[in-house]
Structures are given as C-alpha cells and as structure tokens.
Amino acid sequence: MTPFFIALQFLTTFPVQLKQMPSKQQNAQSLLFYPVIGLVIGLILFALAHLLQAIPVILLSSVILVLWIWLTGGLHLDGLADTADAWVGGFGDPERTLAIMKDPSCGPIGVLSLIILCLLKWSALYVLLQERLYSALILFPLLSRLAPLFLFLTTPYVRKKGLGTSIAEFIPKTAAIIVFVLSLLTSVYWGWAGMLCALSMLGTLLYLRYKFIQRIGGITGDTVGASIEICEAVSLLSFIVASFYLTIT
C-alpha cells in the first residue's frame, strides 16, 4: 500500500506520514493510484454537494471550488501558473522556457491563467449544481488524473534530475495502460455526456503533448500539473455543454 500513500501524500493535503523514504520503484508505482486519488477527491466533492444542496447555488459552487483547490493544496495550479509564465516569457526558446519554470515567482501571465481557469471552473460548477448533476463531480478529478499516466507513458521527461526522472524510468507500463483504459471506461456510467467528456479530455491531452514536445522536447513536473488542471476544466466544460444537447443516462 506504500505507493497508494505516496500518491495520497503528493496529490492531496491529507496528513499522510510515510514510515520510510520510498524507493524509486514505489514512486513510479504510485502513478497507478493517481486516478484512485482523483476518485477520492470526486467523492468528497459529491458528498459535500449533497450535504449542502439546500444553500444557494452561487454559494455552493464557491464552496465546492475552494474545497477542490484546498484538497490538492493548489499543487497543480502552481504548475499551470509556472507553465503559462514560461510559455509566454520563453519566446519559443526551450532553455529559457525551462529556466522560467524553475523560477518560484509568479508573473502576470501566470496570475491571469489562474484567474481564467478558476472563473471557467466556477461558472461550469454553478451550472452543474443548478442542474443537480452532482454525481458528475466524481468524474472530473478522476479523468484529469489520467494525464500523468498518459504523459509519462508517451512523452520524454526533459529534466535529468528529480522525482519525474525516476517515475519515467520505472513506471510499470503494462499496469499503467490497464489502469488508464479502465479508468477511462468509467465515463460510460454518465452516458453520452460522460463519453464525450472523456473524448474531450483525450483530445486535450494529445494537443498538450504535441505542444510540450514542440516547445521543450517533452514534459516536466510543471507541465504535468498544468495538464491536470487544464484537463479538469475541459472535461467539466465539455460535460456541461453535452448535458444541454444529449440525454444523460
């Protein structure tokens, strides 16, 4: 169970204490549990939405979004801000782009990317909760945490040192593919809207992978975090759009 607790500690703010330093193999195996952590986050959001459904939707959507961010400690939002800053400030140069990603300060483009993403998420959440599609809150965190699996399976890790290097080296590929496919198939539960949501997420991942390779030759921890946030927003928005055009079973 050590890989599970590694994933729980890394992806959430739950107070998890590991008894010893994990090995490189265990760090890589923890990637298999990322969708499970997404499921846990989704279930918490779903439970809270049901518990507080009596309060005004505008307040409930704000509470859900704040909890969503708090549960992850803003880890992926940090990656999004760093990636956005680097993409604009790097002027197309791979080395400059990577150097800006390492800078802990957040520039105006990074701040703007966070505002835009949170605004899109909040408005989509408002509509979702207004339509009482509470169960869909389980789907988005789960699907988005397939992004690291996909990217580490298909894309080179460009930094020579760090956690990502060992994950890229020791990721159990066959098990990762099985987890990826099975997790993706959970979208069927939400009918055509869920399947369209999954397809939108896959299309987004493919596009992001293409841009990462084009700019820096692969991925970093920041780009993986950015991918999770972008995939969450895209899957949420696509589900909302589909819910107005398709029958959700």
pLDDT digits (tens, 9 = 90+) for 137-188: 999 999 999 999 999 999 999 988 777 888 888 999 999 999 999 999 999 9
Examine residue 7 and state whether it is found in any structural domain, yes or no.
no
Examine residue 21 and state whether it is found in any structural domain, yes or no.
no
Examine residue 101 and state whether it is found in any structural domain, yes or no.
yes
Examine residue 179 and state whether it is found in any structural domain, yes or no.
yes
Tell me, what amino acid is at 130?
Answer: Q
Q: Which residues contact 74 (CB under 8 A, 6 or more apart)?
A: none
Total number of domains in the chain: 1
Assigned token pair, 208: 């992001």
Examine residue 11 and state whether it is found in any structural domain, yes or no.
no
pLDDT value of position 247? 57
Nearest to 18 by CA among 31, 28, 5: 5
Examine residue 20 and state whether it is found in any structural domain, yes or no.
no
φ, ψ dihedrals at 89, nearest 5°: -75, -20
Examine residue 13 and state whether it is found in any structural domain, yes or no.
no
β-partners of residue 157 are 219
Examine residue 237 and state whether it is found in any structural domain, yes or no.
yes
Q: Which residues contact 106 (CB under 8 A, 6 or more apart)?
A: 81, 82, 85
How does pLDDT run along the chain (249 residues), one tens digit per residue?
Answer: 899 999 999 999 999 888 888 888 999 999 999 999 999 999 999 999 999 999 999 999 999 999 999 999 998 999 999 999 999 988 889 999 999 998 888 889 999 999 999 999 999 999 999 999 999 999 999 999 999 999 999 999 998 877 788 888 899 999 999 999 999 999 999 999 999 999 999 999 999 999 999 999 999 999 999 999 999 999 999 999 999 887 544
Tell me, what amino acid is at 106?
Answer: C
Domain that includes residue 199, residue range = 31-245
